[in-house]
């Protein structure tokens, strides 16, 4: 069972940067995984921010394109989200997630696929951007 632990959140002024990390463990060698970052602001639905498929393909929500970058260290099993030019509307709880499908793709900052066999979520890390 995949376990995910996020870190790196905090408070920053608009225009600043943060890098979120997600330490992952428990991957099965007979599965491939699509990884993603989600966020949820108070009173709003959870939304996909950025995703990276098992072949390295990345995709971003329109609201963060050009400002956020998702990457992963496949040796250390760490997922990153570099966030630059932060805006107050980026304030949210940010979650790391892992999905395993029979076949997957990324779109709109999220992982999609058919025949999901596993999913896992971290506990979240808070990002607060002040104006």
- 54-96 pLDDT, tens digit per residue, is 999 999 999 999 999 999 999 999 999 999 999 999 999 999 9
Q: How many whole angstroms separate alpha carbon 104 and alpha carbon 124?
A: 24
Q: How many whole angstroms separate alpha carbon 28 and alpha carbon 111?
A: 18
| Helical H segments across 9-66, by residue range | none
The answer to whether the CB of 72 falls within 8 A of the CB of 19 is no
**Residues written for the chain:** 131
Mean pLDDT of 13-18: 98
Six-digit token pair at 26? 């428990």
- When pLDDT is cut at 50, 70 and 90, the band that residue 18 belongs to is very high
């Amino acid at each position: 069972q995949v376990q995910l632990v996020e870190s790196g959140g905090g408070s920053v002024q608009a225009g600043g940067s943060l890098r979120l990390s997600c330490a992952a463990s428990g991957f099965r060698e007979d599965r491939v995984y699509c990884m993603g970052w989600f966020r949820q602001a108070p009173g709003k639905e959870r939304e996909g921010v950025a995703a990276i498929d098992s072949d390295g393909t990345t995709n971003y929500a329109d609201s963060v394109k050009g400002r956020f970058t998702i990457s992963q260290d496949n040796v250390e099993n760490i997922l990153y989200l570099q966030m630059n030019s932060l805006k107050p509307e980026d304030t949210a709880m940010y979650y790391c997630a892992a999905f395993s499908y029979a076949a997957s793709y990324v779109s709109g900052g999220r992982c999609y696929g058919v025949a999901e066999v596993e999913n896992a979520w971290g506990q979240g890390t808070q990002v607060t951007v002040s104006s």
